[in-house]
Amino acid sequence: MTEGSVALEGVTKRYGTETVVAGVSLAIAPGEFFTLLGPSGSGKTTTLSMLAGFVMADEGRVMLGGQDMTHVPPRGRGLGMVFQNYAIFPHLNVAENVAFPLTVKRAPKAEIAARVAEALEMVKLTGFETRYARQLSGGQQQRVALARAIVAHPRIVLMDEPLGALDKNLRYHMQVEIKEISRRLGMTVIYVTHDQEEALTMSDRIAIMERGRIAQMGPPREVYENPDSSFVAAFLGEANLLPARRDGQAVAGPGGARFQAGAGALASAEGLLFIRPEKVTISAAAAGEGANTLPGQVRHTSFLGNVVRYAVEVPEGAVVLCDAANGAGAVLHAPGDPVRLNWRAEDCRLLAA
């Protein structure tokens, strides 16, 4: 079944002399929840707009459901859409807003009524049919936009920062809801966000964009654990990136300390040794030496409740962040304490600077 499949083949967009999307290729399977993640200006919205047909690609092809849609206008693409600034119509009430994609297609009245009721039930807005935008909270308006996007049962839905305007709790609630609805309807979702946590929790796969290109693409855990570049490492969560260079089959780090790195992890001869704070173990300095260890001194501690974050100064002035679970019997280290850090070879990688 190719109905819900999406592909971009070498898609490029230029504005004047600036190339804002540079030869992007990707293939998304029917029913997949796929996220474009990246900093502001990296080309996420432009990529989504080319899928939607609002922006024409200068080069490359846009394939939807196995068909070449590169030159088909937005109406002919049969997509559902939720955009952050694609507000609901103020002169229409909730039911009329949600019905809109069906009324423009002149669907039979009875069918429209049934579909609208179903969509409102899914976003938990049954009973709000006759309200107008000004009588709804931001979260409720966003749900109306979501109901409008799914009312025609599109196989593919595009969402551009749909939760950007909502506060943290509501955002989390809506994330769960969007995920649940997309699963229930078996829709392919292409989701845009600059929020890494949102991307990690919601996606089957994430493409991280950097200046108009896909820097890396893969399941959340894979890109988080095995970033190919310091850009991806630093964008997707906290990362320690220590000056280091290749030394035979090992890595030389701060103060000449030697590290073993995971298989295939010596991506560069000279660069940055990558290790996530939660993969670093901290212990009292007296604890034994060994592979992949660094001596240091605690500079700062942040008590985050379930986790204690240590900033530890290591040789040559570098600072390593270490997250220690505040579990039963956890021993806390205080600022000034000498400590020893260590980590497993498979958890660190030498990345190009």
H-helix or E-strand containing 21?
strand 18-28
Candidates 45-53, 61-69, 197-205, 314-322: pick the segment binding Mg ion (CB under 5 A). Answer: 45-53
Nearer to ligand ADP, 43 or 296 (CB): 43
Residue 157: helix, strand or coil by DSSP? Answer: strand
Nearest to 210 by CA among 9, 2, 12, 22: 22
Nearer to ligand ADP, 15 or 86 (CB): 15
Q: Which of 42, 188, 301, 342 binds ligand ADP (CB under 6 A)?
A: 42
Among Mg ion, ligand ADP, none, the one that 42 touches (CB under a kind-dependent 5 to 8 A) is ligand ADP
Nearer to Mg ion, 159 or 187 (CB): 159
Name which of residues 11 to 40 contact ligand ADP (CB under 6 A): 15, 20, 38, 40
- The answer to the question of residue 207 lying near ligand ADP (CB under 6 A) is no
For the packed helices 109-122 and 94-103, what is the interaxial angle rounded to 10 degrees? 130
Among Mg ion, ligand ADP, none, the one that 253 touches (CB under a kind-dependent 5 to 8 A) is none
Using CA atoms, how far apart are residues 332 and 286, in angstroms rounded to an integer? 15
Q: Which of 11, 28, 35, 43 binds ligand ADP (CB under 6 A)?
A: 43
Query: What single-letter amino acid sits at 35?
Result: T
For the packed helices 168-185 and 138-150, what is the interaxial angle rounded to 10 degrees? 10
Distance of CA 14 to the CA centre of its chain: 25
- The answer to the question of residue 45 lying near Mg ion (CB under 5 A) is yes
Nearest to 88 by CA among 34, 132, 122, 130: 132
Tokens coding 276: 């996530």
CB of 44 to Mg ion, least distance (A): 5
Among ligand ADP, Mg ion, none, the one that 196 touches (CB under a kind-dependent 5 to 8 A) is none
CB of 45 to Mg ion, least distance (A): 3
Among Mg ion, ligand ADP, none, the one that 15 touches (CB under a kind-dependent 5 to 8 A) is ligand ADP
CB of 33 to Mg ion, least distance (A): 19
Among Mg ion, ligand ADP, none, the one that 46 touches (CB under a kind-dependent 5 to 8 A) is ligand ADP
Size of interface with Mg ion, in residues (CB under 5 A): 1
Using CA atoms, how far apart are residues 256 and 240, in angstroms rounded to an integer? 17
Nearer to ligand ADP, 24 or 242 (CB): 24
Residue 260 exposed, middle or buried by CB count within 10 Å (0-12, 13-18, 19+) = middle
Q: Which of 1, 10, 25, 41 binds ligand ADP (CB under 6 A)?
A: 41
H-helix or E-strand containing 293?
strand 293-303
Specify the long-range contacts of residues 123-129, CB closer than 8 Å, at least 24 apart.
123/147, 123/177, 123/181, 124/177, 125/94, 128/94, 129/93, 129/94, 129/95
Candidates 8-16, 44-52, 166-174, 328-336: pick the segment binding Mg ion (CB under 5 A). Answer: 44-52
Residues that bind Mg ion (CB under 5 A): 45
Residues that bind ligand ADP (CB under 6 A): 15, 20, 38, 40-46
